[in-house]
Chains A and B, each alone.
Chain A
Amino acid sequence: MNVLLFGGFLGSGKTSIILQVARYLLKGISTRQLDAVKPSLVIIENEVGEAGIDDKILKAEGLSVRELFAGCICCTLNAELTVCLNEIQEELAPQWVIIETTGMAFPDRIAETITKYGKGIDSLKTIVVADAERWDDLSAIMPGLIEGQIAEANIILLNKIDCLEPEQVSDVEESIRRINSSALFYAISAHDEVDPQIWRKVVPYSE
């Protein structure tokens, strides 16, 4: 089971990106596996608020979704996430599990929990989505959260670059690099279809 853990502030575009990544991954799963009763890709959706919206968007695309609501999986629902993940492994053993965190979560804490208590995990990647359009505002207003989300990411996707001039994108990249210089970095606009070459690098099929 390969786990992709998505983090990033509220409104950064996590769900839009997950939709594209899920479509890309499903293309790489063989027809025989897709025909099987058990899904090859399961999404765990953690949302703020009573009315889940992202889970409905993903379900409307025909994706298999488990919800964890009314709390944050980096803290209050920490144990529930482990239980949910291990149930998925035991019942379905999918090739891929995508976890969408709330925009308020610290993904590194979740990664730590999964690494410690998760069963049957072959690989775990933390992918953090940064909002290019609001980078300056958010990093000024909530530096602890924004930097904390990015600091330990394996992959950083700078989204909404269509809202900035190229030189502004470079400035944001530089600012992100100062927080995390070792992560793979891609600048994208999930408003349109992202170049599959990027997904190929982010989530290679061979894993």
Chain B
Amino acid sequence: MSEQRNDHLPEHSHQQHSLECSTKHSDPAIFSETHSLVFLEKVTSEKIQQALTQWVEEIRDWANGNAYLIGHIKVFVDGQENLWLSSTGRSINIKHSQGWSEWSTDRVTLSVTAIIFGTSKEALGEVAKQSLREYFKL
């Protein structure tokens, strides 16, 4: 996979929502969704973090296993407390608000984005959605 910059290419006049400005040979596949999750009972922050870390790992390992380039994989859990996960293909960076570790809740807003080069939006969406369904019954 390679790309070159060419300011004079016609794509820089742009189709809507295109990212061809920087990747004339390869647009990345983007999976980006927000979900309001309501659980049947209160769930600990540890369990939420564990499930989402596994989600990031699955996308990461799938991308690495297929030699795709990971732009980034990001997760943000929005509630009374917050969790932020990110990875560019190696380790997973985990940050959270001060009270996160002691928190439990029956609802959160979950935002996820994965940007991967070398695959299709459909293939990425399938992997990403399957894992989310598995962990959160979406």
Q: How far is the CA of A147 from the CA of B2 in the complex (A)?
A: 13
Interface assignment of A144: CB less than 8 Å from any CB of chain B: yes
From B74, which residue of chain A is reached at the shortest CB distance? A53
For residue A140, which residue of chain B has the nearest CB? B2
Measured between alpha carbons, how far is A117 from B69 in the docked complex, in Å? 36
In the complex, what distance in Å separates the CA atom of A3 from the CA atom of B76?
27
Q: Which residues of B contact A71 (CB under 8 A)?
A: 16-17
Decide if B16 touches A76 in the complex (CB within 8 Å).
yes
B50-58, B84-92, B129-137: which lies at the interface: B84-92
With contacts A51-B33, A144-B4 known, is A10 near B71, CB below 8 A?
A: yes
Complex-state Cα separation, A85 to B46, whole angstroms: 40
Within 8 A of B (CB), among A63-100: 70-72, 74-76
Q: In the docked arrangement, what's the CA distance between A163 and B93, Å?
A: 13
The residue in chain B whose Cβ has the minimal distance to the Cβ of A19 is: B95
A48 near B: Cβ within 8 Å?
yes
The interface on chain A, measured as residues whose beta carbon lies within 8 A of the other chain's beta carbons, has a size of 38
Residue among B22, B74, B115 with max Cβ neighbours from chain A (10 Å): B22
- On whether A145 and B17 interact (CB within 8 A), knowing A53-B111, A75-B12, A133-B88, the answer reads no
Q: Across the interface, do B75 and A53 meet the contact criterion of CB distance under 8 Å?
A: yes
Chain A residues within 8 Å of B30, by CB: 48-49
Complex Cα distance A180/B128, Å? 38
CB nearest to B97 among chain A residues: A60
CA distance A50 to B78 in the complex (A): 16
Q: Which residue of A lies closest to B110 (CB)?
A: A51
> Can you identify 17 A-B contacts, CB atoms within 8 angstroms?
A11-B87, A53-B75, A53-B84, A53-B111, A57-B84, A60-B78, A60-B82, A60-B97, A71-B17, A72-B21, A76-B17, A104-B19, A141-B1, A142-B2, A142-B3, A144-B4, A145-B23
4 new A-B contacts, CB < 8 A, other than A56-B82, A144-B6, A144-B22, are: A49-B31, A54-B74, A133-B88, A142-B1
Closest CB pairs A-B (n = 7): A49-B32, A144-B5, A11-B88, A10-B71, A11-B72, A144-B4, A104-B22
